[in-house]
Amino acid sequence: MFAIDIGTSGTRAGLFNERGEMLEGSLVEAPSEQCADFVSGADVNAKESFNAVAQLLDRAVERAEEFVSRVDYVASCCFWHSLVGVDSAGQAITPLFGWADTRAADAVAELRESFNETETHARTGCRFHPSYWPAKLLWLQKSSPAMFGEVARWQSFSDYVYQQLFGTTLTSISMASATGLLDQGHCQWDQQLLSHLQIRESQLPPIAPLRKTAGGLRDDYMLRWPMLERAAWFQAIGDGAANNIGVGCAAREQIALMLGTSGAMRMLSGRTAPASLPPELFCYRADGDRVVIGGALSDGGGLMQWLQQNVSLDVDGAELNALLEPFEPDSHGLTILPFWSGERAPGWSSSATGTIHGLTSATKSIEIVRATMEAIGYRFAHILQSLDSFALDPAITLTGKIFLSFPVWAQILADIFGRKTELSPVSEASLRGAALLALETIGTIDSLETIKSEPGRVFVPDMERHAVYRRAITRQQELYRRLVT
């Protein structure tokens, strides 16, 4: 099984055996040169992003030739919430818009005036927010009417990649589920929203039937990658769903907390979407048989990278972690709203921006870093409280390379939650998750629920610290009410 993971921070690919284990030495990865644009909400060039994926595949196929003579199946996952408009020839005529683009904030207000948001949230699994398609499409319709009128089809980036490779226009249930335009119960495009947005269903990609694979590669790519000539490509799934699967969190009693460029807490459940959702949470799909319930933060590792670049820090990695560890909880006098890239869960504000409150001439840069880690943890605590309504005392698995650099952050989260957490040893969880779901689809493995990951490092909470953090959460929420709501 050949697998590809297209993320905002970069693309990676590798080979997996029939048990979902990556073949040692087969991994190839490349950072995204446009990651900063995704995080800031700036326009991204879709063609350049596709070329970067294709160039990564050049290297990955060359590496794979050292292990196998041909590939029979290709699995893939891609970041959720992207939007690009293409012409009738499948060429991008809009920028590639990402989840951090908040320019559609005014359109959110109009949608809330036109619809009952609670009912729409229950039906589509998504709040009205600039990160989703309804607000983006409404904003583009009014701000760029000429460009809007030229678009033949609106797609996710994974759909655009597949169109370039195969000439097909399908999308997966998983990618469609995170657009804000899918009726989760019927797995069809939501007609009420389409009517209001004046979007024809023919302007959206058809949703691929379960287990349908893409057709053969276009001739130029078949010549470019002869090893993939006869491979069946599964439709891309959302990287968040793949991440849960990759770390072994495929049941309702298991929560995966992922920290990458952004952050999220998610659990997989049965095939039926819940009749109602807490306002803090979303509901997407991994496939037709599994829904994904959770909440996402727009800031995570990306904000840490910003701090390291902009807040006078001459250390990083293990040395920075060692400097952060001795701090007592909430001992810096700071209250931070970590919304440098805007807010999604739990409040879904369309206009929230970052705030550092409590600065004095005595404040040190290292204190700002520690306070930011804690502040992001407080937002996760709100999401966890809502997820608790779906499972009794679920296990929490941490995933993300950033925890390897900053294990102090894992301990902070355990103390904030007042619960034991376990750090997954899986290094490429989304890549592995895409491969595992494909292996289940072709019947090589019986069920994702039977796949167990190796145990990782366990972080046990300090309940005295937990009590301090509970008071800090209340203080942060009071600042949020004053400045955001």
Q: How far from the centroid of its chain's Cα atoms is residue 247's Cα?
A: 15
Quick check: 265 and 383 in contact, CB under 8 A?
yes
**Max avg pLDDT among 134-138, 167-171, 304-308:** 134-138
Give residue 379's pLDDT.
98
Tell me if 422 sits within 8 A of 458, measured CB to CB.
yes
Q: Point out which residues pair with 290 in neighbouring strands.
A: 287
Separation of first and last alpha carbons in the chain: 48
Give the C-alpha distances (Å, rounded to integers) separating 304 from 95, 127, 297, 405: 27, 27, 13, 11
pLDDT at residue 391, rounded to an integer: 87
Helix, strand or coil for residue 199? coil
Domains located in the chain, CATH noted: 2-239 (3.30.420.40), 249-423+455-485 (3.30.420.40)
Q: How many CA atoms lie within 13 A of 277 on its CB side?
A: 29
Q: Tell me how far apart the alpha carbons of residues 205 and 309 are, in angstroms, rounded to a whole number.
A: 40
Using pLDDT thresholds of 50, 70 and 90, give the confidence band for residue 40: confident
Mean pLDDT (the chain) is 94
pLDDT beyond 80 at 36: no
Question: Which range, of 25-39, 176-190, 337-351, 449-463, averages the lowest pLDDT?
Answer: 25-39
pLDDT over threshold 90, residue 452: no
Per-residue pLDDT tens digits for 11-25: 999 999 999 999 999
pLDDT in tens, 228-286: 989 999 999 999 999 999 999 998 889 999 999 899 999 998 888 898 899 999 999 99
User: Confidence band (pLDDT; 50, 70, 90) for 211?
Assistant: confident
Mean pLDDT of 474-478: 98
Q: What is the mean pLDDT of residues 362-385?
A: 97
